[in-house]
Chain A
Amino acid sequence: MVRISDLITACLLIVLSIYIFHETSLYPEPFIEGAPGASAFPNVLAFCLIVLSVILIIDSFRHKSERVDSTNWKAIAKISIDLILIIAFLVILEFWDIFILMPLLLAATMFIMGEKSIKAIILLPLAFDLFVYVVFYRMFHVMLPTIYF
């Protein structure tokens, strides 16, 4: 049985390498003769990536009858939801207050992870908020994105 994930990853990495070669072909030549220019290092890396990807493809065909673990779709769903919430947090943060958004994000994460205690879901994010306000905002003067504080 072929390791499908390795095959897909290897193909994606080869596509990435081709993109790198294309992109770096547009870079200017170095000013000093003999010295490597801006394209040298990325090209070396892209070449190494192609070689390693080919080895990975060969390797994935060599492994026979491998037991494939069943995917835990419930766990994937939890992670996906949390990731969407984090992205929403980052987008809304451009317009709103971190001291309001952060406890909401943390409470939602606790709920996703199966926290049953309502008291904990409310108090822990608020305590964290207070900690961030006192330590980062007041003590270390980190200019957190805030509107109301």
Chain B
Amino acid sequence: MIENLMVGFQMAIQPGNLLLIALGTALGVFVGAMPGLSSTTGLAIVLPFTFMLNPIPAFLMMISLYMAAEYGGSITAIAIGVPGTPPAVPTTFDGYPLTKKGQCGKALGVSILSSTLGGVFGTIILILACGPISTFALKFGPAEYCALGIFGLSIVGNLVEGSVVKGFISVIIGLLFCVVGVDVLSGYPRFTFEILGLLDGIHLIPALIGFFAISEVFKLIEESGVLKRVTEKVSGKLPSLKEMRGLAVTILRSSAIGATVGAVPGAGATIASLIAYNETKRMSKTPEKFGTGVIEGVSAPEAANNASVGGAMIPLLTLGIPGSGSTAILLGGLMLHGMKPGPLLMSEHPELIYTIYIGFFVAEFFMLTVGLLGIPLWVKLISLRSSRLTPLILGISLIGSYALGNSIFDMIMAVFFGALGYLMRRFGYPLAPAVLALVLGFIVETNYRRALSISGGDHMVFLTEPISLVLIVLAVATFVIPAVRSYRRKQKATD
């Protein structure tokens, strides 16, 4: 293995390949940061150009773009409260509050450092644990996917501050939007009101943009008579070494979660980052501070979503199974260059595989450089006056929601969710649980019904499958423990 890695290293550091990695990284950061664009969009655009290249340089460029886009989503999530990609959703929970406290530089610094370290961890897992993890990932069936979705939803208990009832109403609202569209199992249209655009269901990106960005635009308009800037004090100061050392356990744990969840086809970076955020909050000594702007709340999802890239490559390289849109495009790239993805790829093209491994490390270094150099630019952006920054947020949100499907209907959806999100915030209904439900609701319902179709309606299938049982027990614990803790704290306070 060491010899193969050395060969991979020699190939990856050739000047032409280094240039392509740098280009892929810069492009990846950019598409990740822009709402409405994502690694899938970026990869789809560069794929035809890579046909002119040899397979190794082509892949180095694409994997760099893929890795950097996962980090890029955090930039706008932190700076202006708009997640650039769905995995950056939990980053907004603490990233944007940090910006409002004037600590944008610290938040962005924590994000890039955690993303880099998470990416390195995910790559190490990819190199060492390819076989065992792919075997584990293949054991996921409908019951396991449903349990994973429920486990993801269980973090609601940790996201709700204030009225718990309103938090759960928020979840139900999010889940209700998931049932809109043609039911995939029966083919029957549900709550479409004969609107063509709704047959496909509610697209996630316009809903996220609406909930986070456009509702924030309305809130900033409301405050425009009072606040001149999103935050009056803006600091580009990076996190200290002591602060980063304090994040070591968070990064390690979140990276492990990211790499494992990322290896499950269809689970992806979004679920990985949500679970990592929840686990970090659950294990924190001060969970009540999450959501108000703590660096652990930025570090956890960012480490997880970059580690999930390494995890997602495991089923792709070992089994030829793409776990997401991005890995599906990478699969297409492999086939475009005449390679047959699957178990024999490693033995037939070892030079490609080991160069990809080293390429990830090099891409992470370039991502760190691009990320750190870009921080002053983003800090400058958010110090603009509110009357100038807010319209830019509105503009990029509308363009971003259109860009996904070239559809004005998606823009309409984004504005609808923006108005709904503003009203929800005004009347004390938290947005995070609704967003969580939107992300996970489809996985939960579809796999719940599939599992029961296979088992003939027997609900015991969720408890007899070992992986499903473990996930459900964890979900119950995640749900119950914070409630018990909160009750005990209230009892102590009254005593």
Contact = CB atoms under 8 A, between A and B. Distances in A.
Interface of A: 5-6, 9, 13, 20, 23-24, 27-28, 30-38, 40-42, 45, 48-49, 52-53, 55-56, 59, 72, 74-76, 78-79, 82-83, 86-87, 89-90, 93-94, 102, 105-107, 109-110, 112-115, 120, 124-125, 128, 132, 135-136, 140-145
Closest 9 CB pairs of A and B: A34-B457, A115-B387, A113-B387, A35-B453, A106-B391, A109-B391, A113-B224, A75-B222, A38-B183
Interface string B212-252: 00000110111111000000000000000000000000000
Nearest to B423: A9
A9 B224 contact: no
Given A102-B398, A109-B394, A120-B388, 20 more contacts: A34-B457, A36-B452, A37-B186, A38-B190, A41-B448, A41-B449, A45-B175, A55-B165, A56-B165, A75-B225, A83-B218, A83-B419, A106-B392, A113-B391, A115-B387, A140-B45, A140-B403, A142-B402, A143-B406, A144-B402
Interface string B429-445: 00000000000000001
B179 A113 contact: no
Given A52-B165, A113-B224, A113-B386, A140 B41 contact: yes
Nearest to A116: B387
A45 B180 CA distance: 13
Contacts of A110: 387-388, 391
Interface stretch (B166-174, B271-279, B334-342, B481-489): B166-174
A45 to B, nearest CB: 5
B261 interface: no
B458 interface: yes
A27 B41 contact: no
A149 to B, nearest CB: 14
Nearest to B422: A79
Contacts of A136: 399, 403
B383 to A, nearest CB: 15
Interface stretch (B56-64, B95-103, B151-159, B408-416): B408-416
Interface in B178-219: 179, 183, 185-186, 188, 190-191, 217-218
Contact of A41 (B388, B445, B453): B445
A9 to B, nearest CB: 6
Given A90-B408, A109-B391, A113-B387, A56 B169 contact: yes
A45 B377 CA distance: 45
B407 to A, nearest CB: 10
A56 B390 contact: no
A89 B183 CA distance: 32
Given A9-B427, A106-B392, A140-B403, A114 B45 contact: no
Given A5-B427, A114-B224, A142-B406, A87 B169 contact: no
B427 A82 contact: no
A106 B386 contact: no
B221 A56 contact: no
B186 A52 contact: no
Contacts of B217: 82
A115 B445 contact: no
A120 to B, nearest CB: 6
A48 B165 CA distance: 11
Contacts of A37: 186
A124 B165 contact: no
A111 B458 CA distance: 61
Nearest to B185: A38
A78 B179 contact: no
Contact of B176 (A9, A45, A59, A128): A45
Nearest to B222: A75
Given A36-B449, A38-B185, A49-B169, A113 B390 contact: yes
Nearest to A81: B221
